[in-house]
Amino acid sequence: MRGKQKILVAMSGGVDSSVAAAVLLNQGYEVVGVTMKLWGGTSDTGCCSVSDVIDARRVADQLGIQHHVFNFGDEFDTHVVDPYVDAHKKGETPNPCIECNRHVKFDKLFRRATALGFELIATGHHAQIIQQPEGFRLGRSVDLKKDQSYVLHMLNEKQLARLQLPIGNLTKDQVREIAASLSLQTAGKADSQDVCFISRTKGGRQRFLEQHMAMTPGQVIDSQGNRISNVPAVQMVTIGQRKGLGVSGEGEPRYAVDINVESATVTVGPKADLYYEETPIVDVQWIGEPITSALDIQTSAHGHTARAKITDKICWEKPHKKVASGQSAVFYEEGTVVGSGIVSRS
């Protein structure tokens, strides 16, 4: 009977995964909680801090379920931290949470769960699994403001068939209400949207990267190639950045519109130069047949969608703000993930 199935619930120490475990327990599953210890360095944020492990264990105790800690630090370094540093060396902007989900949380964890005799795993992600005639598909959460399908877009049908996302049909307010009604340790805990191995303190990203790579001093130039100022590290500049470039003052505001580590230059221009009708894309993958009509495209974890068609590039219906190379572009049709690609340099 399905209700008697064993299920391994990934508990990050947050309210979402806590409620996910509680919901599944109420549905009759044999629930076991697990917290993945991923980052071996100091951490004050994300899902890797010591306090998060403690919170997860306390919730498991409250629910009366077993709780374990799996150390996946080696895989995390290899598949998440090292590629994150390598991408910045090339001037790209990666999304480490996507790679963590791809290689660790939904690969290594699945393999460990199988070895331990678990048929199913579950997480507290805000997304839904939709069973269609052609198979299982990933859909957006009921709470679009908290939707996390973007960072789960790489899940395949085989993985989705073994996965439960028990809070995908709940709003965040409903999740907190359930946690409060059960007096869970994490009921009032704030959400974390930070990279777990980067300190949330000011300058945390730069300090981390300085410890792992050499920085490239560079020049700030305009679209005609005229030198304006210098920056201490080209890799620390982001598309759309205005401050810290030595371009403030009178006249029209100017923003970073291109970053080139190879030539050690940051090109600045007016806000209009940040908008393009097309975005280059590589590694396009479709779930099913390619779709030639307009789709909803999302290009950042906390961003909004915009309409576009996919060819060998993203062809926007309306001019779209430039997307940093290295970011994932996820394609949706009526709220269901139908494909993805990686934004590349023009």
Among all chains, which residue has been given the structure tokens 């963590």?
100
Max CA distance (Å), the chain: 71
Residue 248 neighbours by CB distance under 10 Å: 11
196 is catalytic: yes
Report which of 127, 70, 75, 120 is spatially closest to residue 102, judged by C-alpha positions.
75
Amino acid of residue 83 = P
DSSP H helices, the chain, are 15-26, 50-63, 73-76, 82-89, 96-100, 109-115, 157-161, 172-181, 204-212
Per-residue DSSP letter, 273:
G
Burial class (CB in 10 A: 0-12, 13-18, 19+), 182: middle
Report which of 287, 247, 253 is spatially closest to residue 152, judged by C-alpha positions.
287
Burial class (CB in 10 A: 0-12, 13-18, 19+), 38: buried
Return the structure tokens found at 270.
């007016």
Among all chains, which residue has been given the structure tokens 């100022």?
229
Return the structure tokens found at 202.
């000011």
Query: Whole-angstrom Cα distance, residue 47 to residue 203?
Result: 20
Q: Give yes or no for a contact between 187 and 179, defined as CB atoms under 8 angstroms apart.
A: yes
Catalytic residue among 47, 48, 97, 196: 196
Query: Whole-angstrom Cα distance, residue 126 to residue 139?
Result: 10
Catalytic residue among 47, 48, 100, 315: 100
Report which of 9, 6, 36, 4 is spatially closest to residue 23, judged by C-alpha positions.
9
Among all chains, which residue has been given the structure tokens 């590290």?
233
User: Could you give the residue numbers annotated as active site?
Assistant: 100, 196
